[in-house]
Structure 1
Amino acid sequence: MSAVPNQQLLVDQSVDLFGRIGSLETRLARTPREIDAAQAVRYRVFVEEMKAQLPPDAMRQRRDVDAYDAFCDHLLVVDRAIEGDIEDQIVGTYRLLRQQVAIAHGGFYSASEFDIAPLLARHPEKQFMELGRSCVLPAYRTKRTVELLWQGNWAYALKHGMSAMFGCASFPGIRPEEHALALSFLHHNARVKGEWMASARSELYREMDLMPLEAINARKALAAMPPLVKGYLRLGAMIGDGAVVDQAFNTTDVLVVLPISSISDRYINYYGADAGRFAS
């Protein structure tokens, strides 16, 4: 049974499709049933694979569910080649939260780990969107699926006039020192500065500067990063100051900040034609 109210998400199917590659398509969830299926995919990845510990109700339901699900948009990757109901066809998902919606419902999820209020305050004329709960089933962790997710994010941002994206990206485990090479590379080479500066909350702050710059092998550091983090970097993202250990999800989190203006031209050109068409 879905945790999302039935009045939520009676989406016009003509405006929520963001891209197709072969049998895969990316679009917004249209019904509470589809959101429930996305929550089941999240449970499989976060709990069964990554060993997250969710609240007892969520563990009983075998769903990754929280209060944000009721008012976020849920981006899906659906494989139409899979026989069966929609529950069987959803293979990837992202949770999207626009600033206007976040303000109306008490703020962004990321604010529980990172001090993003100064970042938002420095850009009163800009609209931010938060990307969260990204996951893809193991068999679909391919370039094609990632491209579709990003085509969906990009089309959604264009459709709603967003100025910047941000969100948490995770390294496995709760010992930042096990990711010293990758975290140090991000600290020295991709840390946010100036008007886009944001830091981990002071009471949760964990140091990312674990190795000196001269000791870092960039190729090995990139190879040690989760694919999602590498994908963000390729798009032109910056990484916040300090990491946060999330005991419940068994992860070490960093904050990704991605101004739309920073996305490299080659990716805008790559996604732009289809995304512009689907967002119009």
Structure 2
Amino acid sequence: MAETVPSTCQVPVHKTTDVFGRIGNLETRLARTNAEIDAAQAVRYRVFVEEMNAQVAPDAMRRARDIDAWDMVCDHLLVLDTSIEGDAEEQIVGTYRLLRQDVARNSGGFYSQSEFDIEPLLARHPEKRFMELGRSCVLPEYRTKRTVELLWQGAWAYALKHRVDVLFGCGSFGGVVPEEHALALSFLHQNLLARDEWSVHAHADQYRTMDLMPSEAVNARRALAAMPPLIKGYLRLGAMIGNGAVVDHAFRTTDVLIVLPIGSISGRYINYYGADAGRFAS
């Protein structure tokens, strides 16, 4: 589990007023203030702790916030329901955390490095810009196609703005028993494993095998139906999966590493969101 941040820490904020996209009363943009980041942490707490029973530090529990050290350096993508009366902090219904390689290099690395050995992957691509996606969550009543599309719209627009070449991050299955997800994990290992220049492994002391079923017993349709929506979304875009799963006991999840080179994103999705991220632009 990530290191927690003292409550007095001041999180750097993004000063832009740009809105990446709108669909009806929903809009996506970066957090502009510390108060908005605090509100996003409250949304994460509601999803990860209250809904999924994640364990957080006593101070975070007292404050009802999901907080870690990376919050200080990441940009925080938000989805807001502008029809809700009140300040922006009260309108946040979804969030995504974005960490560019240049920022990570100067601030202690990537979150996923605690579970996966990504240094060899980075070293093989010194000319490429990597960006980590994490802490994705949406309030239950907003788990709709529109909200997901806006999260992707925002992440895509941000990646284009910063000329990112590769997206990656942890994708999670619920629970701490990988065998409960044998069908889905086996399908990922057997069909979508990142190889050669894109290969990446879970740290040896945390490595849990994903190849839990013989290939002849793995039904692709059933396996895809068993995937969490976020992982399924990455796969539709053209993502690959790292070798080995990691059990995160604090968050009560089984994690896999998603690797998505921008050049591998399916053309139909590029066309849908727009090569300039203009699909839902305001």
C-alpha separation between the residues in 2 aligned to 1:265 and 1:60?
A: 46
Which residue of 1 is the match for residue 10 of structure 2?
5
TM-fit CA distance, 1:257: 0.2
Q: 1:110 to 1:190 in 2, by over 3 A?
A: same
Which residue of 2 is the match for residue 178 of structure 1?
180
Give the counterpart letter for 1:146 in structure 2. V
Tell me, yes or no, if the aligned pair for 1:38 and 1:90 is still in contact at 8 Å. yes
The TM-score with structure 2 as length reference comes to: 0.95
Q: 1:147 to 1:103 in 2, by over 3 A?
A: same
Q: How many residues align?
A: 276
Tell me, yes or no, if the aligned pair for 1:17 and 1:278 is still in contact at 8 Å. no
Is 1:122–2:124 an aligned residue pair? yes
TM-fit CA distance, 1:277: 8.3
TM-fit CA distance, 1:147: 0.6
> Identity across aligned pairs (percent)?
74
Q: Any gaps of 5 or more consecutive residues in structure 2? A: 1-5
Residue number among 251, 261, 265 corresponding to 2:267 in the alignment:
265
Which residue of 1 is the match for residue 3 of structure 2?
none
Q: Residues 19-50 of structure 1: CA distance to partner in whole angstroms, max 9, x if unpaired? A: 11011001000000000000000000000000
Is 1:203–2:208 an aligned residue pair? no
Which residue of 2 is the match for residue 255 of structure 1?
257
Q: Residues 207-258 of structure 1: CA distance to partner in whole angstroms, max 9, x if unpaired? A: 0000011101111111111000000000000010000000000000000000
C-alpha separation between the residues in 2 aligned to 1:111 and 1:56?
A: 24
Matches within 5 A, 1:22-171: 22-171=24-173
Q: Any gaps of 5 or more consecutive residues in structure 1? A: none
Matches within 5 A, 1:233-244: 233-244=235-246
**CA RMSD after TM alignment:** 1.6
Q: 1:89 to 1:219 in 2, by over 3 A?
A: same
Question: SS at the partner of 2:160?
Answer: helix
Residue number among 230, 237, 245 corresponding to 1:228 in the alignment:
230
TM-fit CA distance, 1:2: 6.7
C-alpha separation between the residues in 2 aligned to 1:2 and 1:20?
A: 33
C-alpha separation between the residues in 2 aligned to 1:176 and 1:47?
A: 20
Question: SS at the partner of 1:5?
Answer: coil
Tell me, yes or no, if the aligned pair for 2:160 and 2:276 is still in contact at 8 Å. no
Tell me, yes or no, if the aligned pair for 1:2 and 1:33 is still in contact at 8 Å. no
Q: 1:83 to 1:95 in 2, by over 3 A?
A: same
The TM-score with structure 1 as length reference comes to: 0.95
Give the counterpart letter for 2:15 in structure 1. V
C-alpha separation between the residues in 2 aligned to 1:233 and 1:10?
A: 30
